[in-house]
Structure 1
């Protein structure tokens, strides 16, 4: 599929999610990434046309905050209000709506906002993100820069091949000032168990396994948009 075709699918998923789940007066967590950005734009469109009012957003990255301001979406912080729900993208979506996130570089803030959302997360994606088993691509782990090499060794002992994410020759640095290790596992049959093991590694601040947080997934394909609700 062409890049333009993929963008149309992302836009369709985001539009359906906003129109279906966002109500006037809500505080909404605003995800990071190309698909989530379409949701921010859709909220801005509806605020401008008057079909939504009083919606405020909690951004998960500096990029998303800047986009929201550009689109006319008022912002609040978690210290002011908790989100009713969050709309965000995903890198992989399992049948039980466990997901991998964070390849866009904002996983710690995304998980903080997702966990604070009273109604959980609505995932928006195109059909290519659906997998039968998580782990087709790397699992991001946000880590403390101090001693990251030791953290990488400890993660490797869990059965993965960790690689420091870089921008050209320099380490990629998150909005929180952390590094990201992209960890390639041969498959992740037990996402909750692996997430617990990773969180026990000193220096591993958060991993991209979002388990039990998604209430729905809105998935767009060329033949239409499908909405999957968590059991």
Structure 2
């Protein structure tokens, strides 16, 4: 329960950044789901209208159920994006994509005026890459050559669903995910992000270099800590 409480603390703190009438980019995952619940409780009181750009079908369903107005990047660019992470280091480099949504998350996050990351304390590390795999979304047509090239960086595993569905995980974009187990600390996230993205057939990587992130809100069971650049 302590981790769940920590997620709630981070979500509560980030909700203070959301203003009435704002266009908000909403990430995916369990901590963002808690943020949606908190914002839904404010709708009709502190918030009269909220326009959201979701990064996954799951987030879109939750946002619609909450009563938010769902819009697209064709309509608006987000003023603020709030997203989670699988790992974040002290330089604000991220690994995302445990839920398979990192491509849409990166599009929304990088197009936002401001990006804030919310995590529980277990996700904060000194350096990313040692414990969590780096998800790489890949065109099914290019699966074999991409897997071969990625293997130069570490162990590569095609992701399968753990919920009984047969076959590999298929993203909201209709692609597969290769998990790259880098096996060591990432010293230069931006360089590695660019190198992997340059492989023909790679759609996007779950590496997010820290240059875009303005704040990281870390939840603990009894408080939330705001880390800023």
Among 52, 57, 65, the residue aligned to 2:60: 65
Correspondent of 1:204 among 202, 217, 223: 202
Aligned length: 223
Q: 1:127 — aligned with what?
A: 121
2 CA distance for matches of 1:205 and 1:218?
28
How many Å separate the matches in 1 of 2:138 and 2:155? 15
C-alpha deviation, 1:38, in angstroms: 1.0
Q: CA deviation at 1:36?
A: 0.9
Is there any run of 5+ residues in structure 1 with no aligned partner, and where? none
Q: Which runs of 5+ in 2 are unaligned?
A: none
Instruction: Report the equivalent of 2:174.
Output: 177
Are residue 32 (structure 1) and residue 28 (structure 2) matched?
A: yes
- Indicate the structure whose relative CO is greater, using CA pairs within 8 Å and at least 6 residues apart: 2
Deviation readout 1:78-112 (Å, 9 max, x if unpaired): 00000001111100011011111111110000000
With structure 1 as the length reference, what TM-score do the two structures score? 0.93
1:213 deviates by: 2.0
Q: Is the 8 A contact 1:172 1:179 kept in 2?
A: yes
Q: Give 3-state SS (helix, strand or coil) of 1:17's partner.
A: helix
1:107 corresponds, among 102, 107, 115, to: 102
1:162-204 superposed Cα distances (whole Å, 9 cap, x missing partner):
1000115411001010111110012211111100100110111
Residues 17-73 of structure 1, C-alpha deviations (whole Å, 9 max, x = no match): 011x1111210001110011111222211113x112222100000010000011111
Corresponding residue for residue 116 of structure 1: 111
SS of corresponding position for 1:180: strand
Superimposed CA distance per residue, residues 120-166 of structure 1 (whole angstroms, 9 cap, x where no aligned partner): x2111110001111112100011111120111111112x21110001
**Residues 1:47 and 2:43 are matched in the alignment:** yes
Stretches of 4+ aligned residues off by more than 3 angstroms = none
SS in 1 for 2:52: strand
TM-score, structure 2 length as denominator? Answer: 0.94
CA contact (8 A) 1:41 1:68 kept: no
Local SS of the residue matching 2:141: coil
Please give the secondary structure, in 1, of the residue aligned with 2:103: helix
